[in-house]
Amino acid sequence: MTPQPAPRPARQPQAAVGTPRSRVDGRLKVTGQARFAADHGPADGIDGIVHAVLVDATIGRGRITSIEARAALAVPDVLTVIHHGNAPRLPYRDNSFPDSIHPPGERLRAFQDNHVRFFGQPVAVVVATTLEAARHAARLVEVTYDAEPPQLDLVTAPAHEPDIYTRGDAAAALASAPVQLEMTYRMGRNHHNAMEPHAIVARWDGDRLTVWEKTQWVADPRNELAAVFGIPQAAVRCYSRFVGGAFGNSGRTWVHSVAAALAARELRRPVKLVLSRRQLYFGIGFRPAYEYGVRLGSERDGRLTAVVHDVRGETSRYERHSDDLALGRMLYDTPNFRQDVRLVPLDVNTPTWMRGPGWSTTATALETSLDELAHELGIDPIELRIRNEPADDPATGQPFSTRRLHECYTTGMREFGWHRRSSRPRAVREGDWLIGMGMAAGAYPAESAPAQAHARLGADGTVVVRSASSDMGPGTTTSMAQVAADALGLPMWSVQFQLGDSMMPPAPVHALAWTMASVGSAVQATCDRLRRKAVALAVGDDRSPLHGVPADEVVVRRGWLHTRADPRRGETYQQLLARNGRTHLEAVGGYEPPEEIRYSMYAYSAIFAEVAVDARLGIVRVRRMLGVFDAGRIVNPKLADSQAHGGMIGGLGQALLEHTVTDPRDGRILNANLADYLVPTNADATDIRAIYIEGVDNEAAPIGVKGLGEVVQVGVAPAIANAVFNATGRRVRDLPITPEALLMPR
C-alpha cells in the first residue's frame, strides 16, 4: 500500500533543487580563503593570540603523583602551565541531552583531579606566546604516576548488563531451523581522521566567552562551555563556519576546548589550541571496536526463521557510548530475532559516532552472514535478500514510508553486471589476480529534529537565510540555498545561506543524516512564509499589478511575482519593496518532526564491489564499486555524488585498511598518525559510481528527502568482504582484511 504523499507546500517551480550546482563556497575553498577554526586571528579582530599545547598522560590508568612544571616555565615565552594541582575548580554544571549528545555517565573533566583514565588523557596545558615555545615546554613538563595495568580486552573484560531486544522466540526457532550458521565477526577500532585536526580559539571579554571552534553543532560548545564554567548560555558564542571534515567526530565538545577556554580565562588573552594528529587518537572519540556474534537459522530456501546477535562493544569507564545497532531488526523479515548488546567498559576514552554509526557496524556482520548463508545454500546473495524482503517493518509492524531496496538491487545488478559473477568462489583469474564480486545491503534511519531558520529579503531583491547548522563537506550552504531559491523564486546568485554561528536560529547537530530533512524543511517553511508575506503585501497593495489576485495564484520566478494565468502581470521583489517604502522583509520559520510517527522511515543502500586479490601475495585491490541509494529527493546530484564517493571510499578503508592499534600493556596507541593508520589514498580509489533511485518521501520530511550522509557508508565494508570471498573462497571475518589473512596455498 503506497501511503498518500503529504500535500505539496507550494506550487513554486523547482529550478534549483535537483540540479547539479557547484558548491557556492568553492571559490573560497580553492583560494585558501575559507577559514577553519585554527585560521582565525588578527584578520577576524582577534589580537594577541597565544598558543596552548596539551601534555598527555603516558600511562594507561592510575593517578598522577606529581607534576613538575619548573623546566617548562623556564622556557622563554612560556606564560603558564595549568594542571590539576593549580587549576581552579570548575562548576561543571550538568549538560545532558537535549542540550548535548553526551552519552550517559560522567564526562571527562579538565584538570579537576589526579586520575588518569586512559593513555593520552590531558594532564596539563602549556601556554606560550610562540608555538615553538609552547610545544617545547610541553615536553619538559615532568609528570610522575602511580600506574596500574589498564583493562583493554574487549573479549574478556567484564561487561555492563546487556541491552536486549527480542521478538518471537529466537532460541527455539534457531534450534529447530533446518539450516543453522554461527560465526563471529571482529571489527577493529576506527578513527575519523578528518583532515582538519580539532582546534579552538577562545577569547573572553569580561564574563563573555567567544570561541571559534571545530564543531558539527555550534550550539554544543556554547552549551558545554557555559555548563562547565557555570555561566549562562547567552554569555557564550560559538563560530564554526567551515569544518575540515568531521564524520561524527565533532558532535560534542571535547576536553581540549575546556582547557583552551580555561587558559584564556586565566591569562586574559585569546588562546589557540590545535590538537596534534596524534592527539586526535585519544583526545576525541572514535568508532568503537566490536566483537559481533551472529547466529542464523533459516529454511532450505533461505527464508530466515531466526537471527541472533551477540555483540560486545567497547566504551570508556566514565561514559557509556552505545551505537544504534538496530539494522538487523528491520532489514529482513525475521519473525524471531534477539539481540544482546554488551558494552564493555575499558580504560579508554569515550567512543563517538562515526559515519553510519552502529548501522555500518551491524551491516558488516549481518550482510556478511547473509552472504555466508547464500553460499551455504547455493542461492544467489541478492535472491536470498529478496526472499527475505519484508512487507512492513518487522520490528514495529508499521508500513514503510518508502522502501525501494528491491529496486536498488535490480538497478545495481543491471548496472554492475552482476550476472558475470561466478557463484562458485575462486573461479575467475586474470594473471596473478583472483577476481570476485560481492554485494551488501544497508539502511539508515530517515529521522529529523527540530530546526529553525530566519530569512531576510533586502530591497535589492537578494535574500540571506540563516540557521545554526554546519558544513563539514556535504555542501549545506549550497543545498540550503537551492531550497531557499526555489521557495522564493530567486536565482541562486541572489540567495545566500549562512550557518556556523550559535546566535543564529537553532539547528540540530549536523549528523545522523538529519540536516537536509530538518534544516532543509525549516528553510523551506521559512522561505515559503517570506514569499507569502511578499505576496500578501502585493495583492493587498492597490498600486500593485497583483492587487486583488488570490494569493494562491501568485508564483515567483527569477524574482518576478506574477499570476500563474498571465505571467506578464506582475512585479519584482525590488519594485514591491520600494513602492511600499520597505528596506526589507523577513520571516522566521521552523520545522518540528511530527509527534506521531506512523511509518518506518529509512534510507537504503545496495553496494556492489569488484575486487582483485593477488593469488600469492594476498593484497586486495578494489577495482570498482557501485552504490545504489534510495534516499528520497536528491537536492543536488553533484554534491550527492561527492557524499557517495566519500562513504564508499570510507568503507573501503573500513574493510581493508583501518584499525587503531593499542598496546595492551599500557594502552598506548601505536599508530596514532597518518603513516601507520592507513586511510585510502588517491591510488586506492579507482572506479566509484553512485546511482539514486527516483522518488521522494514526503513522510520522511516535507521536502521529500531521506538523508544520504550516513547511509553512503552502510554496507560498503561487507560488500568488499563478500567480494573477497567470491574471489578467493576464503572468508575473512576480522576487519580490516589484510594480506596475512589471504596468504593462500597455490
Partner 1 sequence: MFPFTYTRATSVHEAIEAGERGGRYIAGGTTLVDLMRETVERPRALVDIVGLPLSDVSATPRGGLRIGALARMADVAADPVVRQTYPAVAQALELSASAQLRNMATIGGNVMQRPRCAYFRDVSAPCNRREPGSGCSALEGYNRTHAILGTSEHCVATHPSDLAVVLTALEATVHMVGPEGRRATPIGQFLLQPGDTPDREQDLRPGELIVALEIPPLPRPLRSGYLKVRDRESYEFALTSVAVALHIRGGVIHTAKVAAGGVGTIPWKLPAVEQHLVGRRPSPDLWAQAAERAADGARPLVHNGFKTELLRRTVERQLRIVGGRS
Partner 2 sequence: MNPENDAGHGRSGVSRRNFLGGGLVAAAVTPLLNATAEAEAAEAASATAGGVAQVLVRAAVNGAPVTVLVDPRATLLDTLRERLDLKGTKKGCDRGQCGACTVHVDGRRVLSCLTLAASTTGHEVTTIEGLADGDRLHPMQQAFIEHDGLQCGFCTPGQIMSAVAMVDDEGPARSDDEIRERMSGNICRCSAYPRIVDAIRDAQQVMR
Question: Residue 8 or 616: which CB sits closer to partner 1?
Answer: 616
Q: Residue 616 binds which one of partner 2, partner 1, none, with CB within 5 to 8 A depending on kind? A: partner 1
Binding residue count for partner 1, defined by CB under 8 A: 31
Written as one string, the DSSP assignment of 54-102 is: EEEPSSSSEEEEEEE-HHHHTSTTEEEEEETTTPPP-------TTS--P
Among 579, 684, 689, 695, binds partner 1 (CB under 8 A): 684
Question: Residue 39 or 319: which CB sits closer to partner 2?
Answer: 39
Q: Residue 623 binds which one of partner 1, partner 2, none, with CB within 5 to 8 A depending on kind? A: none
Written as one string, the DSSP assignment of 186-217 is: EE--B----SSPPEEEEEEETTEEEEEE--S-
Q: Report the distance separating Cα 289 and Cα 274, nearest Å.
A: 27
Contact 412, 418 (CB under 8 A): yes
So which residues are the catalytic ones? 710
74 binds partner 1 (CB under 8 A): no
Contact 75, 127 (CB under 8 A): no
Q: Which of 389, 411, 409 is nearest to 400 (CA)?
A: 389
Least separation in angstroms between residue 657's CB and partner 1 is 6
Q: Which amino acid is at 668?
A: R
Among 657, 688, 708, 727, binds partner 1 (CB under 8 A): 657
Among 44, 153, 676, 694, binds partner 1 (CB under 8 A): 676
Among 113, 663, 687, 694, binds partner 1 (CB under 8 A): 663
Q: Residue 139 binds which one of partner 2, partner 1, none, with CB within 5 to 8 A depending on kind? A: partner 1
71 binds partner 1 (CB under 8 A): no
Q: Report the distance separating Cα 336 and Cα 355, nearest Å.
A: 29
Contact 453, 589 (CB under 8 A): yes
Least separation in angstroms between residue 152's CB and partner 1 is 13
Query: CA 64 → CA 92, 274, 462, 663, 696, distances in Å?
Result: 21, 24, 59, 21, 57
Question: Residue 505 or 680: which CB sits closer to partner 1?
Answer: 680
Residue 624: φ, ψ to 5°: -160, 155
Least separation in angstroms between residue 252's CB and partner 1 is 28
Which cell numbers hold the place of 351?
567512543
Question: Residue 234 or 670: which CB sits closer to partner 1?
Answer: 670
Helix (H, G, I), strand (E, B) or coil at 137: helix
Contact 368, 733 (CB under 8 A): yes
Question: Residue 175 or 670: which CB sits closer to partner 1?
Answer: 670
656 binds partner 1 (CB under 8 A): yes
Q: What are residue 381's DSSP bridge partners?
A: none
Least separation in angstroms between residue 139's CB and partner 1 is 5
Q: Residue 159 binds which one of partner 2, partner 1, none, with CB within 5 to 8 A depending on kind? A: none
Contact 510, 470 (CB under 8 A): yes
Least separation in angstroms between residue 670's CB and partner 1 is 4
Q: Which stretch binds partner 1 (CB under 8 A): 128-136, 286-294, 320-328, 414-422?
A: 128-136
Q: Report the distance separating Cα 263 and Cα 471, nearest Å.
A: 28
Among 135, 167, 533, 730, binds partner 1 (CB under 8 A): 135
Q: Residue 617 binds which one of partner 2, partner 1, none, with CB within 5 to 8 A depending on kind? A: partner 1
Considering only residues 51 through 70, tell me which ones interact with partner 1, judged by CB under 8 A.
Answer: 58
* Interacting residues with partner 1 (CB under 8 A): 58, 132, 135-136, 139, 432, 616-619, 621, 656-657, 661, 663, 665, 668, 670-671, 675-676, 678, 680-684, 738-740, 743
